[in-house]
Amino acid sequence: TVQESPLILSGRRRRRQGTAMSVQSPSRGARVMAGLKRVGSSLSLASPHKVVTPLDWPCVIAIQCTSMISILSTTYVFSTAVFMVRAWGATDEAKAAAHAGLMIAAKPAFSAISSYWWGSAGDRLGFRGTLLVSSMVTAWLTAALGLVTSFPAAVAVRALSGLFDGVMTLTRSSMAKISDKTNSAKAFSTFGVTYGLGSTIGPTLSAVLAYPCGGDPNARGGDDAKGLVFPRQCPSRYAREYPFALSSGWVLVAAAFLWGYAYAFLRVDEAAGEPLGVEDKGDVEKAYPGGGPGDVEMTTRGDGVRGDD
């Protein structure tokens, strides 16, 4: 046999040692890839066992009941504002449009001014009490608008209604307190439903109930025009003297039922003291016996990613 040179033997010996070391100690890239595979495996195993916190639907509906009071108070006047200012003496078309726009805008403008104060009051005093007080005062001021007989008084009432209406600020904070990242999308989607219903029902009913005994000067027949509510006989002279009392007062009647439900089921402050994201610790233990699936530890020291399955 041909005797190999010492250089060839030493080269083979170094290659064998390098192979053994690479088997015993994988490179950093291999460790990172192995860790990422374990993370992916853990996530795929976790998805069938994802814990979604159940929503407290009676409380969600109670929050939206107070929200509905605010929406009705804001939007009901959209269909009657022009007729109101005309009844108060704004006969010119441009003047009537300007007065109607100012009266409509007074409430949301002053509501924006007071929104920060209402949010702070909710944090200090509790969201349940502030929501109930704000919605109740807003409903009463809404009904009062139907009894005013001048444009300045109407603007003042609408401005007061806006100052006391912190409902839109408080309801969103309340909804955030009773929901978490697993159900917040479903909880907050109810605001769109409430606004759609309120902005449809409010102006429609107010238009129907305005001038209940007739007498709209802008209608055919003028003072002899018949009303939609009482076309034959007017039950009271006050219905003619205050033709918008019924179109504003119905909001107070609706608010009484909405407020009653909210009073019974509004549990915002109770839910605020509970940890969010977990309905019951036992649910997690049942879903993940022995710990969460794939407890992953990410390190920044360059040691790779470690996952415990």
Tokens describing residue 7: 């250089």
Tokens describing residue 112: 């924006």
CA distance linking residue 120 with residue 114, whole number of Å? 10
Q: What is the DSSP letter of 219?
A: S
Q: What is the value of pTM for the model shown? A: 0.72
Cβ atoms within 10 A of the Cβ of 265, count? 16
> What are the pLDDT tens digits along the chain (309 aa)?
455 555 555 656 666 665 555 545 556 667 767 766 665 555 444 445 568 889 999 999 999 999 999 999 999 999 999 999 998 888 888 999 999 999 999 999 999 999 999 999 999 999 999 999 999 999 999 999 999 999 999 999 999 999 999 999 999 999 999 999 999 999 999 999 999 999 999 999 999 999 888 776 666 555 556 666 776 777 778 888 899 999 999 999 999 999 999 999 999 876 654 444 444 444 444 444 444 443 433 333 344 444 444
Please name the residue that has the structure tokens 């969600």: 60
Q: Helix H segments across the chain?
A: 6-24, 28-46, 57-75, 81-87, 93-125, 127-144, 151-164, 167-178, 184-209, 238-241, 245-265, 268-272, 281-287
DSSP element (H, E) containing 295 = strand 295-298
Q: How would DSSP label each residue in 196-210?
A: HHHHHHHHHHHHHHS
Inter-residue contact 159 to 73 (CB < 8 Å): no
99 contacts: CB under 8 Å, gap ≥ 6: 85, 88, 90, 151
Q: Rounded to an integer, what is the distance from CA 298 to the centroid of its chain?
A: 35
Inter-residue contact 234 to 192 (CB < 8 Å): no
Please name the residue that has the structure tokens 């036992």: 282
